[in-house]
């Protein structure tokens, strides 16, 4: 992105992994607590090895004394992000996401957003946010549906909306109960849910789940009209 990049993309530092050809869609991956925009680049390659998609990994806007890396919000209690840091990050990420279609030439409805841990919570908060258009799908790994005053996910009218959730049953950081609670709320809302709970796994991404996620991602971003025979 150069000096003429669309207004909004300057709000967050980010990395762009270009598609191999004209992109069939976009994939945005949000890192977890204490890392940065480089952390989920390998996941982008694993989910989209053919580089059908342009993949972007933004950096969380916060740093905190005594805590390494970047953050999307301050953690005071798991599952309940700090309102004073979550709100500005939500607004900043929303503006950054809103600039993507013009910057990439990829419609929002062909953009999948996802993430790990804090990034998973943010992807659910933005993808299911009040007044926001729905993306192509949400991929949330080892996260939760955040509960923050004024930023509750909107679940009404989400019938058949695609969401993928993965979580380790032995996660000591974000207990698997959060994933199970999210699963029940999302199923009650009628979403099209891909859910994987890995026995004994901690706070990490299950590599055995990646092939299913790869297929799920292809289904969310099929060839554009005129590209099927390419």
| Catalytic residue annotation | 117, 171, 203
Angle at which helices 118-127 and 83-104 cross, to 10°: 70
Buried b (16+ CB within 10 A) or exposed e, 112-143: bbbbbbbbbbbbbbbbbbeeeebbbbbbbbbb
Nearest to 47 by CA among 222, 216, 215, 214: 214
Task: Judge whether 181 and 115 are in contact, CB under 8 Å.
Answer: no
Contact between 125 and 88 under an 8 Å Cβ cutoff? The reply is no
């Amino acid at each position: 992105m150069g000096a003429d990049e669309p207004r909004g993309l300057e709000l967050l530092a980010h990395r762009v992994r270009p598609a191999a050809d004209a992109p069939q869609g976009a994939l945005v991956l949000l890192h977890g607590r204490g890392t940065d925009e480089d952390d989920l680049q390998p996941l982008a390659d694993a989910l989209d090895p053919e580089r059908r998609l342009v993949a972007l990994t933004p950096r969380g806007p916060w740093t905190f004394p005594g805590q390494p890396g970047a953050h999307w919000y301050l953690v005071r209690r798991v599952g309940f992000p700090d309102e004073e840091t979550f709100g500005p990050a939500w607004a900043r990420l929303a503006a950054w996401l809103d600039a993507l279609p013009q910057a990439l030439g990829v419609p929002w409805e062909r953009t999948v957003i996802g993430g790990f841990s804090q990034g998973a919570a943010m992807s659910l908060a933005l993808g299911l946010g009040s007044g926001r258009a729905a993306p192509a799908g949400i991929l949330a790994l080892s996260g939760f549906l955040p509960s923050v005053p004024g930023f509750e996910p909107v679940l009404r009218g989400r019938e058949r909306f695609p969401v993928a959730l993965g979580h380790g049953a032995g996660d000591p950081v974000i207990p698997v109960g959060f994933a199970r609670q999210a699963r029940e709320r999302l199923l009650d809302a009628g979403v099209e849910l891909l859910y994987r709970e890995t026995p004994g796994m901690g706070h990490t991404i299950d590599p055995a789940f990646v092939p299913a996620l790869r297929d799920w991602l292809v289904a969310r971003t099929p060839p554009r009209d005129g590209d099927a025979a390419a």
